[in-house]
Amino acid sequence: MSKPDTSHVASYYAASANPAPARPALEGELTCDICVVGAGFTGISSALHLAEKGLNVIVLESARVGFGASGRNGGQIVNSYSRDMDVIEDKYGLDAARALGDMAFEGNRIIRERIAQYGIECDLKGGNLFAACNAKQLKGLIEHKALWERFGHNQLELLEGTDHQREVQSERYVGALVDHSGGHLHPLNLVLGQAAAFESLGGVIYEQTPVVELIHGQPVRLKTPRGEVRAERVVLAGNAYMQQLIPQLESKSMPCGTQIVTTAPLNEAQASALLPNDMAVEDCNYLLDYYRLSADRRLIYGGGVNYGGQDPASIEGVIRPKLETTFPQLKGIQIDYAWSGNFLMTLNRLPQFGVLNDNVYYAQGYSGHGVTCTHLAGRLIAEVMTGRSERFDAFAGLPHLPFPGGRLLRVPLSAMGAWYYQTRDALGI
């Protein structure tokens, strides 16, 4: 049986990553206060927060730092969650909505604090917008703006009619909502920079070190191919790449694949003719498109969802028609990079936080809004492990139901549901 490929996927991000050391695999036995499984945003954010509090933390990563979604995503700093606050309030009550609403923009702030505090070079740019493809979606953006203003977020600007072309010059849209507090960045360099910050505080990361068995107890024992860690507490932060370490949650989440392409560099005139103020964009469709310009003026364009996480036969074949529909002037543009990656989706589209046996914590299932919420998760995990539990518990108390159809039928049933909503988007109903 061949070994899985644990090198970084051949993406634009990997090709333009800042230098980073290759960390060794774990050999032998170690003990620590806290062992973190997974060196993506959730794991590294948690480890860094905990190391700042003086705790002895070891991170185990089955591949490389940022190997999964954290090093492959669209790089957009999108505030809030994959569920709107009115849905959260309707389903879970006003107290839950207020608790989550108070934290909805904190992940964004944490990212910016980290970049400034540790001097992380990750091409941070300001601003992102949500683009409406029809009148129904524009009405939704108007309601969205009013809703967020209830929760104290006053950096949103509505652009109706053709005013959106001030920010995105495409004929696809009938309006947009700009979030001036949002932004975009190079996600792999962000996680690599935070990993280096963690190591500067005495933290240790072992790469190429999958956890093959987790034995609950006091301490928790984490067995790897050539070693073992004994930890007082554990953070499971593998998200869609968890390798069955939380079997009791598998029916309540589902890996989903998304695809991204990156064009050859555009000249300054071409780039400003697409996105004049260099903002990131995502549309309002159920299966949404998202895109932005890189630091060297490439268009990074992603979209679509493959339920179950399988790769399509041709990533470029999936994404190029979307890109050229949005920007016909780029028809035939050279694609230099094309890749896919998995994120973890929950049925209610809200993240899963919790604790097993009083000392194994987990945070996962950001459902496509992981860049910001993972950074919030890291802070909340550090809080709950140092005696402050109320904010972590606001998420941990949310009920999570299994996907209909179980593991066998959840993919086709979810695809059928997505087809229904995709049809509604196309018809504007």
Listing DSSP states for 357-398 in one string gives: TTTEEEEE--TT-HHHHHHHHHHHHHHHHTT--HHHHHHHTS
Nearest to 393 by CA among 402, 401, 383, 403: 383
In the predicted model, is pLDDT for residue 227 greater than 70? yes
What confidence category does residue 245 fall into, taking pLDDT thresholds of 50, 70 and 90? Answer: confident
Of all residues in the chain, the percent with pLDDT exceeding 90 is 77
pLDDT of residue 368: 85
pLDDT tens-digit series, residues 279-303: 999 999 978 999 999 999 999 999 9
In the predicted model, is pLDDT for residue 199 greater than 50? yes
In the predicted model, is pLDDT for residue 424 greater than 80? no
pLDDT of residue 247: 85
What confidence category does residue 307 fall into, taking pLDDT thresholds of 50, 70 and 90? Answer: low
Element holding 239 (H helix, E strand): none
What confidence category does residue 244 fall into, taking pLDDT thresholds of 50, 70 and 90? Answer: confident
What confidence category does residue 182 fall into, taking pLDDT thresholds of 50, 70 and 90? Answer: very high
| 355/266 Cα distance (integer angstroms) | 48
For 246-272, what is the mean pLDDT? 91
| Complete domains list, the chain, with CATH | 12-72+188-252+348-405 (3.50.50.60)
Strand ranges inside 174-247, DSSP E: 175-184, 204-206, 213-215, 220-224, 227-236
In the predicted model, is pLDDT for residue 272 greater than 90? yes
Q: DSSP assignment, residue 289?
A: E
In the predicted model, is pLDDT for residue 274 greater than 70? yes
What is the Rg, in whole angstroms, of the alpha carbon atoms belonging to the chain? 21
Residue 333 DSSP SS3: coil
Q: Return mean pLDDT, the chain.
A: 91
pLDDT tens-digit series, residues 33-46: 999 999 999 999 99
Residue 237, burial from CB neighbour count under 10 angstroms (0-12, 13-18, 19+)? buried
pLDDT of residue 345: 87
pLDDT tens-digit series, residues 72-85: 999 999 998 988 88
List C-alpha distances in Å: 163 to 134, 271, 289: 15, 19, 20
Q: DSSP assignment, residue 165?
A: G
pLDDT of residue 429: 52
Least confident of 8-22, 150-164, 373-387, 415-429: 415-429
pLDDT of residue 416: 37
Residue 286 DSSP SS3: coil
pLDDT of residue 53: 97
